[in-house]
Amino acid sequence: MNSMRNALFADLYELTMAACYFENKMFAPATFSLYIRKYGANRSYFVSAGLEEVLEYLESFQFAPNELDFLASTGLFRTDFLNYLEKLRFTGEIFAIPEGTLFFKDEPILEITAPIIEAQLIESFVINAINLQVSIASKAARCTHAAKGKNLVDFSLRRTQGTDAGMKAARASFIAGFGATSNVLAGKHYGIPLSGTMAHSFILSFKEEIEAFRAFARTFPDRTVLLIDTYDTLCGAKKAAQVGREMSQRGLSLKGVRLDSGDIAKLSNEVRQILDEAGLGQVIIFASGGFDEFEIEEVLSKGARIDGFGVGTKMGVSADAPYNDIAYKMVEYDGRPALKLSRAKKTLVDRKQVFREKRDGKMSGDTIGLRSESLPGAPLLECMMREGKRLSPPEALPQIRQRFLGEFESLCEAYRATKNPKTYPVGLSPMLEAAQSKAIRDVKKRELGESS
Amino acid sequence: MNSMRNALFADLYELTMAACYFENKMFAPATFSLYIRKYGANRSYFVSAGLEEVLEYLESFQFAPNELDFLASTGLFRTDFLNYLEKLRFTGEIFAIPEGTLFFKDEPILEITAPIIEAQLIESFVINAINLQVSIASKAARCTHAAKGKNLVDFSLRRTQGTDAGMKAARASFIAGFGATSNVLAGKHYGIPLSGTMAHSFILSFKEEIEAFRAFARTFPDRTVLLIDTYDTLCGAKKAAQVGREMSQRGLSLKGVRLDSGDIAKLSNEVRQILDEAGLGQVIIFASGGFDEFEIEEVLSKGARIDGFGVGTKMGVSADAPYNDIAYKMVEYDGRPALKLSRAKKTLVDRKQVFREKRDGKMSGDTIGLRSESLPGAPLLECMMREGKRLSPPEALPQIRQRFLGEFESLCEAYRATKNPKTYPVGLSPMLEAAQSKAIRDVKKRELGESS
């Protein structure tokens, strides 16, 4: 429902290259590696997310008749190739890092081995799916860290980049420690707990603010959170306190108030005092309006008395790092290592594995090695799919979230810092280094005429 | 197909507020206004886009049985309210600025008048749809401006924020002057011309670079654009020139080469010389890799000899302004103006119109007035939907694109500048100013006890 399964979700060159492979009878297996080349501002880790969508896509990959008709209408492709596409399914193998796991720059999050046409045609979808959820989960993890245990609610739906992103922001932020979402469809589709209060328009639609408060409390006596900044936050707090006392007299309990503007640190203390003086110590204060990890950290450091945050736009678009330098690169074809020469951008050849070591329960360093190696530490990439069939059913979202929370706990504070974090150590194994050097020498000799 | 039609694409509060309106028999019409409160960095205009998706959504708006079942399962809603939702359709009126039109800060791009529950339930979808396409079209327009007539191709699919954004980036960039997209599904769905070359993996899958070039030229003799930077751009250019000469000898013509890395200004001149010396003056040079308006302007100012650009990630996520401060605010309920008091955020009350004046064919200034006013200039908002039915069929995309190109031509250079543009003049009509002041006085008196 929330992902686009079309096989035409592809860049044209994937199809033109495939046509050329077909014409040249190139059906040998290729391995492509997906990895991120750089950290965004203040970033020092990534959270794996999006794999489930990729596995679903690959398992059902096929061209629909109307898609083939469209390709025929372009006049670019021969009939024998289109007939071949009609029967094409994904028959490859996937190694990947499970969702909710932390990973780092240059580490393959996913490696696909499949006949080259299959591995090439799925490129854009695979990058798109993983990139989005990794971006959002990584940003959301930073918010979780800054919130120091306060409840976080995904409020991003309205300003995410499109409907698919709206759904994935709810999923990825829940994986990364958020407690709920305002997105009703995500509640339905993913089983994420729902949360919501009221909008300013609700207050405005009543003749007086306090009447709006009373009406909402009548309809939702168990879960009333009053938005108090429509006219003036402190006036609003006093009216909320009055409604809270009225509810208490009826044996009910006002759940909370929400602040959405102004100096949240200062206002939250003043509102807390108003509520406490009214005997409403149990009423929580919830804050929203432009929060991300930086603002959360700032208001908490200033002594804000906030019990939970609605985190919206900046998390939902990963505003300070709205994309990753993510690459899907061929690292092996027909048994030979494949390597693009580039001073700026490093591709690591061959099928790989990441080995993670721990010391005293904390992650101490990763080594990227060849997949055939056995190195100290736990291997991160697992075989998820073989011959186009997944090896296990989808993981439950709470289980992925639990994995993330465990992983995040084992990452030292220096790497989790909101600003200027330390760089986590990732090395290459001597065997990978040797394979890499040999591949570079071979390419230079072959293509540039340099002697080794 | 590419948008999510679910009525549950909503924030929970829209449903809880609706339940409360229902219980309080509040069915009077409300008017909500959608507008952007701030310009992003270096921004001074927005391009209207996304309206078509909103009209489609509203015309087919309804709750599906499984959505109502889900709402029932939350335990939040009474059966009479769910029965009401089952029958609910959108019956309201839409005034909006047509797609492809330029608009500015604070100007309503869309105003919805409908029974308050309807107008409230569609909030998240409407904001999401318009915000995404406005962001991308506005960013893409900046690229169009910087490219000074060079051909631009949308390459953003792989790194947009999700599948929906991938489709909308193709659509919005085409509206804003791009000539083609690499996104095959967008070609099929929107009829946008397709463009594509080859990936580095294609080169790597052949034993030698030149063999990859020859193979592609055999399969696509009419549209071969060779990617020449896999190993070394100048070596690649010489091999491309050789293949180009081989094609010429067979009566064919190499179409182009693509540069994807390095110092593009310098390399493009060197590659041009290699091609020209080989008698291949007709072969175009296409560049990609990290381009947006700033990079395009920079390489062109350095004398790059580039015939077209592939513009990807930074455009597709509007990287330097990945979200807008866009608001959907109630401005009237049941015949009374509605107004939130806020020092930082201004809402303009009442149903409005934007009047645009021109001088010597150039846009000279806008006035936001009441919709009932007749002011000098052309009114921008048109009635697009009445009683839930659209008043005209969807506009053809080329027509929207043509509108944009005409509009952009009429915007003075000072407002289009890539960096530090001038602010376009937008004023309020005296009648709107008066209505606004009166509303503020009334609210302060009522809610804060201030005397006028």
What distance in Å separates the CA atoms of residue A34 and residue A37, rounded to the nearest whole number? 10
CA distance B266 to B268: 6
Nearest C-alpha neighbor of A334 from the set A119, A130, A183, A37: A119
pLDDT of residue A2: 40
Query: Minimal Cα–Cα distance from B420 to chain A, Å?
Result: 21
Q: Cβ separation of B202 and A20 shorter than 8 Å?
A: yes
Distance separating alpha carbons of residues B277 and A29, to the nearest angstrom: 40
Secondary structure of A291-322 as H, E, C letters: CCHHHHHHHHHCCCCCCEEEECHHHHCCCCCC
Instruction: Please identify among residues 424-443 of chain B the ones whose CB lies closer than 8 Å to any CB of chain A.
Output: 443
Question: Contact B120/A70, CB-based, under 8 Å?
Answer: no
pLDDT of residue A448: 83
Instruction: State the pLDDT at residue B414.
Output: 97
Closest Cα in chain A to B128: A158
List of chain B residues whose C-beta atoms are within 8 Å of the C-beta of residue A223: 76
- B197 in Cβ contact with B259 (< 8 Å): no
Q: How many angstroms separate the Cα of B168 from the Cα of each of A120, B51, B52?
A: 23, 12, 11
Q: What is the pLDDT of residue A340?
A: 85
Select from B17, B135, B196 the Cβ nearest to the Cβ of A16: B196
pLDDT at B344: 65
Chain B CB contacts of A116 under 8 Å are: 205
Query: Is B128 within 8 Å of A223 when comparing Cβ atoms?
Result: no
Task: Give phi and psi for B196, each to the nearest 5.
Answer: -175, 155
Alpha-carbon span B275 to B269, nearest angstrom: 10
User: In the prediction, which pLDDT does A1 show?
Assistant: 38
Please tell me if residue B6 touches chain A, with a CB cutoff of 8 Å: yes
Q: Which residues contact A117 (CB under 8 A, 6 or more apart)?
A: A18, A21, A22, A26, A27, A88
First to last CA, chain A: 54
B342 to chain A nearest CA, in Å?
7
Strand partners, A95: A111, A383
Q: B321 by DSSP, 3-state: which?
A: coil
Identify from A1, A66, A204, A206 which residue to disrupt to test chain B contact, counting B C-beta atoms within 10 A and taking the largest count.
Answer: A204
Chain position carrying tokens 């024998």 = A80
Give the H/E segment covering residue A212: helix A209-219
Which residues on adjacent β-strands are paired with residue B355?
B367, B379
Q: For residue A446, what pLDDT is reported?
A: 85
A51 with A98: CB under 8 angstroms?
A: yes
pLDDT at position B1 is: 38
Say whether A116 and B13 touch across the interface (CB within 8 A).
Answer: no
* Nearest Cα residue in chain B from A119: B201
B12 touches chain A (CB under 8 A): yes
Which residues are bridge partners to A196 per DSSP? none
Which residue, B292, B348, B401, B266, is CA-closest to B35? B348
How many H helices and E strands in chain A? Answer: 17, 19
Q: Give ∠ CA A47-A49-A53 in degrees, rounded to 5.
A: 170
Please name the amino acid found at residue B68.
L
Please tell me which residue of chain B has the smallest CA distance to A448: B235
Question: Quick one: closest CA in A to B208, which residue?
Answer: A447
Report the distance separating Cα A318 and Cα A321, nearest Å.
5
A76-84, long-range: CB within 8 Å, 24+ apart, which pairs? A76/A15, A76/A16, A76/A19, A76/B220, A76/B223, A77/A15, A77/A19, A78/A19, A78/A23, A80/A22, A81/A18, A81/A19, A81/A22, A81/A23, A84/A22
Cα three-residue angle A344-A350-A355, rounded to 5 degrees: 90
pLDDT of residue A447: 82
| Chain B interface includes A204 (CB < 8 A) | yes
- Sequence-separated (6 or more) residues with CB below 8 Å from residue B374: none
CA–CA separation, B110 and B134 (whole Å): 12
Interface contact flag, B232 A446, Cβ < 8 Å = no
**Interchain pair A185, B9: CB under 8 A:** yes
User: Helix B293-301 and helix B123-147: axis angle, to 10°?
Assistant: 0
Q: Which of residues 365-404 of B touch A (CB under 8 A)?
A: none
Asked if B228 and B259 touch (Cβ cutoff 8 Å), the reply is yes
Q: How far is A386 from chain B (nearest CA, A)?
A: 23
Residue B386 to residues A421, B113, B354, B441, B444: CA-CA distances in angstroms? 55, 9, 20, 33, 35
The token duo for B18 is 């609706």
Positive or negative torsion for Cα B61, B65, B67, B72? positive
Which chain B residue shows the shortest CA-CA distance from A200? B340
> What does the buried/exposed string (b/e) look like for B427-444 if buried means 16 or more CB atoms within 10 Å of the residue's CB?
ebbeebeebbeebeeebb
Interface of B with A in 235-294 (CB under 8 A): 235, 261
Beta bridge partners of B362: B359
pLDDT at A344: 65
What percent of chain A is helix, strand and coil (3-state, nearest 5)? 40, 20, 40
Residue in chain A closest to B189 (alpha carbons) equals A70
Read off the pLDDT of residues B348-404 as tens digits, 9 standing for 90 and up: 999 999 999 999 999 999 999 999 999 999 999 999 999 999 999 999 999 999 999
Q: Does residue A193 belong to the interface with chain B, where contact is any CB pair within 8 Å?
A: no
For B164, the closest of A6, A164, A334 (CB atoms) is A164
Averaged pLDDT of chain B: 96
- How far apart CA A16 and CA A13 sit, in angstroms, is 5
Judged by CB atoms closer than 8 Å, whether chains meet at B161 and A12 is answered as no
Residue B197, min C-alpha distance to chain A (Å): 5
- Structural contact between residues B283 and B255, judged by C-beta atoms closer than 8 angstroms: yes
Neighbours of B242 (CB within 10 A): 14
Q: Are B287 and B309 in contact (CB under 8 A)?
A: yes
Domains of chain A: 12-136+322-448 (3.20.140.10), 142-316 (3.20.20.70)
For an interface test with A, which of B32, B184, B224, B348 has the most A Cβ atoms less than 10 Å from its Cβ? B184
Split chain A (452 residues) into runs of 10 and give each run's mean pLDDT. Answer: 72 98 98 97 97 97 96 97 98 98 98 98 98 98 98 98 98 98 98 95 95 97 96 96 98 97 97 98 97 98 98 98 96 92 80 98 98 97 98 97 98 97 98 95 85 54
CA angle A9, A12, A18 (to 5 degrees): 100
Nearest to B136 by CA among B305, B319, B260, B397: B319
Rg of chain B taking only CA atoms, in angstroms: 26
pLDDT tens digit at each of 452 positions of chain B: 344 579 999 999 999 999 999 999 999 999 999 999 999 999 999 999 999 999 999 999 999 999 999 999 999 999 999 999 999 999 999 999 999 999 999 999 999 999 999 999 999 999 999 999 999 999 999 999 999 999 999 999 999 999 999 999 999 999 999 999 999 999 999 999 999 989 999 999 999 999 999 999 999 999 999 999 999 999 999 999 999 999 999 999 999 999 999 999 999 999 999 999 999 999 999 999 999 999 999 999 999 999 999 999 999 999 999 999 999 999 999 999 998 887 667 789 999 999 999 999 999 999 999 999 999 999 999 999 999 999 999 999 999 999 999 999 999 999 999 999 999 999 999 999 999 999 999 988 988 887 64
